[in-house]
Structure 1
Amino acid sequence: MEGLQATTAPTQGPIARGRFVGAAAMAVAVLVIVENVVLAATGAPSFASPMNEVLDYYAANRAAVAIASGVVAVYLPLLLLFLTGLEGLVGRRGAKGAEWARLAVAAGATLSGVFVLVNVLQVGLALSAGGQSEPTPLLELVWRVHAAAFALGLPMLGATLAGTALATHASGLTPAWQRMLGLVGGGLLLAAGIGNLAVADGSALIFVGLLGLASWLVWLIATGVRLVRS
């Protein structure tokens, strides 16, 4: 009996860890979708919107910004948990994919810092907009920095997606189509990030990045389901 327990316990440990990492991946995807639905449903301005619209939105939608920022505060730690947990899973399967997993962790940590800045500035806009009747140069500066930070976060997300896709496929955790999805989505995010000035200025190039973001969400959900069911 003791011998049986000794052989089953090590097997159950990695399975439980895999399911935990998979659940974190799906939670991140769901929360990112919730954040974007909240902002879209309340008519959040685009980076091309005039400052009057930006001021009006943040003055009237403080609650929506609070909800969206609260969601971000939950999914960023979950993202880091997913990435570090995934690195551990890849490492236990051997050397294949380990370098890509480390790249994903580094890029994800940088991405988290950038997204913190994006949301700090957004909270600042919501807190300051209520007492203003006309947009000020300072308000516009905060909005422009918010847009620029978001645009520069896109290549970090692209590196995170590409790194995780390559790492999980190399270690046998995901099939070839997910690697391709990750590389295509990561490439789209990197391409949008190269044009970060145009994106921050309201260019339609942002839709290239949003397509990459959608690819990341699909990849997260597909990977999460595979890990939970493993």
Structure 2
Amino acid sequence: MGGRLGRISGGGGLLFVLLLVVDNAIRAGAPHFGASGASVTAYAEGHRTAMVVPIALFPLGLIGLFAFTAGVVSATRADRNARWWAQLGTLSVVTIAALFSVVNLVEAALVADLHDLASAPEVASAMWAMDGAAFGLNLAAIAVALLGLSRAARANGLVPAWLAGLALPGAACLLVASVFAVPIAEGAAWLFVGLAGFLVWALFVLITGVALARRPV
């Protein structure tokens, strides 16, 4: 794959990270997992734009992540071991897409059916718990994607050794947090354990994206 596709792959990674930052900034005021259905519907009613914009941006983020992953995989075509790690990471990225789709589907349904849900807070509460559980379980997929893609990227010189080393504890934090998906859905603080790994994931995609854009893959 030539330099043009390398730039597309790298640009996809940078787009993904940019949208992560935007998404989290917009969602900063959202109810915490475990919040009551009444709180969730009240927030959605008063902050419709903050609910709708991340959902609208989600497909763009997926395109960016898929392009980035394709670039890492293409860079490993001459190395069998690296290719194995890249394939492991690719399967995990597919899982990330599936579980984050669940998150966005739940939130889209909350917004679309807000009028009825306002009078049925128990339903809204159950939907918000599903949202939190899907998010918690997705931390495991991010952990394996970080591990697999970072090893593949390191084998091909896309990332420095310190970043590949940092990916190991980052993935461990994500994996540990994912085990507690139910407490996360209930509002427990285990989500913050995964936050450290999530930041490593974003840093990895950022640095690798720049590397892909700068060289043919």
Q: For this structure pair, what is the TM-score category when the shorter chain's length is used for normalisation?
A: over 0.9
Match of 1:104 among 86, 89, 92: 89
The alignment partner of 2:163 has SS state of helix
* CA 84–146 in structure 1, closer or farther in 2 if over 3 Å, else same: same
CA RMSD of aligned residues (A): 1.6
Q: Normalising by structure 2, what TM-score?
A: 0.92
* Gap runs ≥5 in structure 2: none
8 Å contact kept, 1:108–1:157? yes
- What residue number does 2:59 align with? 73
> Which residue of the other structure, out of 199, 204, 209, is the alignment partner of 1:214?
199
Please name the residue that 2:23 is paired with.
35
Alignment-derived partner of residue 126 in structure 2: 141
Listed one character per residue, the Cα deviations across residues 42-98 of structure 1 (whole Å, up to 9, x for unaligned) are x2011132332212101111221110111112101221221122101211x422411
Q: 1:104 to 1:132 in 2, by over 3 A?
A: closer
What amino acid is aligned across from residue 112 of structure 1 in structure 2?
A
Question: Is 1:56 equivalent to 2:42 in the alignment?
Answer: yes
Compare relative contact order (CA 8 Å, sep 6+) and give the higher one, 1 or 2. Answer: 2
Change in Cα spacing, 1:65 to 1:16, as seen in structure 2 (3 Å) is same
Change (3 A) 1:132 1:146: closer
Alignment-mate amino acid for residue 123 of structure 1: A
Amino acid across the alignment from 1:30: L
For residues 47 and 71 of structure 2, the distance between their equivalents in structure 1, rounded to whole angstroms, comes to: 36
Say if 1:176 and 1:128 are closer, same or farther in 2 by CA, change over 3 A.
same
Deviation per residue, 1:160-186 (Å, 9 max, x gap): 111110111112221101101222211
Larger Rg over CA atoms: 1
Partners of 1:58 and 1:130 within 8 A in 2: no
2:154 aligned with 1:169: yes
Measure how far apart 1:132 and its partner are: 4.9
Aligned length: 215
Report percent identity of matched pairs. 29
8 Å Cα contact 1:24-1:82 kept in structure 2? yes
Normalising by structure 1, report the TM-score.
Answer: 0.87
- 2:20 aligned partner, one-letter code: V
Query: Per the alignment, do residues 223 and 85 of structure 1 end up closer, same or farther by CA in structure 2, a change over 3 Å counting?
Result: closer
